[in-house]
Amino acid sequence: MADLFCEPFPDKSWLLPRDFPLIDQFDSLNQNSPNCHGNMLKNNVINSSAMSKPSYIYLHLVHDYGDHDKLFFCDGDQSFLENVPWLIMKTDNYYVPSLFLIPSFETELRNLFPEKATVFHHLGRYLFHPSNHVWGLITRYYRTYLAKADERIGIQIRIFDSRRGPFKHVMDQILSCTLKEKLLPAVDMQDSVVNPSENAKLKAVLVTSLLSGYSEDLRNMYWEHPTMTGEVVGVYQPSHEEFQQTEKQMHNRKAWAEMYLLSLTDVLVTSAWSTFGYVAQGLGGLRPWILYKTENDTVPDPPCHRAMSMEPCFHAPPFYDCKAKKGIDTGILVPHVRHCEDISWGLKVVDDHDDL
């Protein structure tokens, strides 16, 4: 944490003290732990009248959580949990959309976030401050390549494919989206356009990808041919690490720096299903164009779609009516929680007035 983030609270810490009584148990907590909320419900421990109030409850809200774990999002279970001194949670989900479906949370969430689709934006900007080393990566790159541009376009490419890329259909999709939506200018393949004037508008394109092939193709296109508009386009990619290296310190620093750099762009294009892109759009307060997930190596039609809001998508939401105790489509219950553009079963928060 200290390698990536500064502490957000003056004279306080968001880290537990090293002598916190349960800290040695964190790694071993799982769905079968005695104090796991879902496991206690499954074994009817919580319903026992003889049960004394536990000192802590473990909440398993990871993507593989079960039906009993998902009852966390029910009002009835919240009334029990609010009396437990310590809640310990493991999650890799952005579960905020389902919090908006808990009736007892409604007033507090409305007071905290009058503009509903700003939750991640406000929390991210308030809590996630890059460490000095990461801030150096951000500022040096921004000043060198992006600061002088008239417009900055971010393109975040994440491919969920076990094969080795880059792939032509992905490059075709990127071009189809950015040219169709007029995010990037078309080029004159006949080289008949006159040379741009000294006052030509400069567009800086920031590409983030594990591979370098996509940015190289884009860079070559704008080097080898003039644009139809006379604009000058520069293409930049901070790193190309080839594959994800989660435990490598410098790899994580670069990833965090590139998320932040993407958030500083004026226009953003992101990849479907990618939490990397979600972080960038949320921090920047940007509604990106989302590149639809490709199937059978073909370019989707349309290739991309403008996001309804800047909020991330909850990839694994519960589909359960707590009162009726049956399955339900939780994406149609309230106007401000809808299904995601990139994952049909996911949920995201939108403002009531957001355009579809």
- Distance, in Å, from the CA atom of 164 to the CA atom of 37, rounded to the nearest integer, reads 41
The string of DSSP letters for 25-91 reads GGGG--TTSTTBHHHHHHTT-TT-TTPPPPSEEEEEESTT--TTGGGGGSHHHHHHHTT-SEEEEEE
pTM: 0.94
What lies within 8 Å, CB to CB, of 154 at 6+ separation is: 205, 206, 208, 261, 262, 265, 267, 268, 269, 280
pLDDT tens for each residue of 88-124: 999 999 999 999 999 999 999 999 999 999 999 999 9
Res 356: pLDDT:
42
Q: What is the mean pLDDT of the chain?
A: 94
Query: Considering only CA atoms, which of 228, 220, 219 is closest in space to residue 193?
Result: 228
Residue-level pLDDT at 198? 76
The Cα–Cα gap between 356 and 343 comes to 15
- In the chain (356 residues long), the average pLDDT of successive 10-residue segments reads 94 93 94 96 80 91 96 94 94 97 96 97 97 98 98 96 92 98 95 73 97 98 94 97 90 97 98 98 98 95 97 97 94 97 97 61
In sequence order, what DSSP letters do the residues of 265-302 get, joined into one string?
SSEEEEETT-HHHHHHHHHHT--PEEEPPPBTTB--SS
pLDDT tens, residue by residue, 50-62: 578 899 999 999 9
